[in-house]
Amino acid sequence: MGEPNEQVREQISAARIYRRFRLLGDAAWQSVAVRVAFVGKGGAGKSVIAGTFCRLLARTTSHRVVAIDSDPLPGLALSLGVPSTDTALPPELVEKVGDDPDSTWQLRSGITVMDTVEQYAPEGPDGVRLLQFGKLRGHVRTVGPSQQAFRVIVRDLAGTDLHLIGDLPGGTRQAFFGWAGFAQVLVVVAEATPSSMLSARRLARLADVDDGTQMVVALANKTVGPDDAEQLGRFSGLRVIGTIPHDPAVGAAEREGVPLLDVGTSSPAVEAVASLVETLTRETL
């Protein structure tokens, strides 16, 4: 018997991914609200992983998935297959509570957080919604006025039953300033290179923020052998919950400007992200 063709291999792979999640039990994999944020050094591969994670999660649950893109540079939209927009959120969506300079912000009367999702988070493949911070076309100040609107919406989304998956910009600034406060688990994506692992070690200190209420773990990306994950764990001091192997399909997808899942569900990287979805679903149960 000859080797199965690519279409058959993808169907077999998709069925295997689906069976993994069914092993979690209907109540578990359909009802748990997964709240994850991917952080790490720029170029570590966060956006590809986050976009693929969102779509695979959406295929296994009855709850909607919202991808939260707080990076003012493009990335997650391409990984999801959603058209990127330069349009920032309207700052008039929010208002201050009281006149005190230290007053908090809230959505304007008559606007619900689900209204903002329907209107400002376009739907992409597999039903994933993408909430974008707004892309830079000049100085960072150009998106500053909508920052409050974005953060208020994300804060209020935490009170829903939606799955929330965040992709933060490279580096440590947003992570340490609470932009991933919605997440139960912070996943530090890193390669087994000195600069990437150094960034991971710095981000490991997120476990000491907010009294350690968020779980901080590492994910070894672009690995070429088991030593990569072991080295990352030793250097960063974080528990490594998974590995994503070096996969030519990732580079091919990026060159073509299409999501990894559109290149093929039998990709080793896709299979690894599917295992990550299963792992993190268990972690949040």
Domains and CATH numbers, the chain: 36-283 (3.40.50.300)
**Residue count of the chain:** 285
How many CB atoms neighbour CB 25 within 10 A?
Answer: 11
The mean-pLDDT minimum among 22-26, 157-161, 224-228, 238-242 falls in 22-26
Specify the pLDDT at position 10. Answer: 46
Q: What is the pLDDT of residues 10-47, one digit of tens each?
A: 444 444 444 444 444 444 444 468 999 999 999 999 99
Q: What is the pLDDT of residues 183-199, one digit of tens each?
A: 999 999 999 999 999 99
Higher pLDDT, 105 or 243: 243
Higher pLDDT, 206 or 87: 206
User: Which of 137-141, 257-261, 281-285 holds the top average pLDDT?
Assistant: 257-261
d(CA 158, CA 60): 20
Maximum separation of any 2 CA atoms in the chain, in Å: 76
Portion of the chain with pLDDT greater than 70, in percent: 80
Residue among 209, 137, 175, 237 nearest 40 (CA):
175
Residue among 171, 185, 157 nearest 72 (CA):
171
* Contact (Cβ atoms closer than 8 angstroms) between residue 58 and residue 65: yes
Specify the pLDDT at position 267. Answer: 93
Give the model's confidence band at 137: pLDDT under 50 very low, under 70 low, under 90 confident, else very high: low
The mean-pLDDT minimum among 25-29, 44-48, 220-224, 233-237 falls in 25-29
Higher pLDDT, 265 or 225: 225
Specify the pLDDT at position 103. Answer: 66
Q: What is the pLDDT of residues 144-160, one digit of tens each?
A: 567 889 999 999 999 99
CA angle 223, 74, 32 (to 5 degrees): 65
**For the chain, what is the mean pLDDT?**
84
Is the pLDDT at 221 greater than 90? The verdict is yes
Specify the pLDDT at position 28. Answer: 42
| One-letter-per-residue 3-state SS of the chain | CCCCCHHHHHHHHHHHHHHHHHCCCHHHHHHCCCEEEEEECCCCCHHHHHHHHHHHHHCCCCCCEEEEECCCCCCHHHHHCCCCCCCCCCHHHEEECCCCCCCCEEECCCCCHHHHHHHHCCECHHHCEEEECCCCCCCHHHHHHHHHHHHHHHHHHCCCCCEEEEECCCECHHHHCCCCCCCCEEEEEECCCHHHHHHHHHHHHHHHHHHHCCEEEEEEEEECCHHHHHHHHHHHCCCEEEEEECCHHHHHHHHHCCCHHHHCCCCHHHHHHHHHHHHHHHHCC
Specify the pLDDT at position 212. Answer: 62
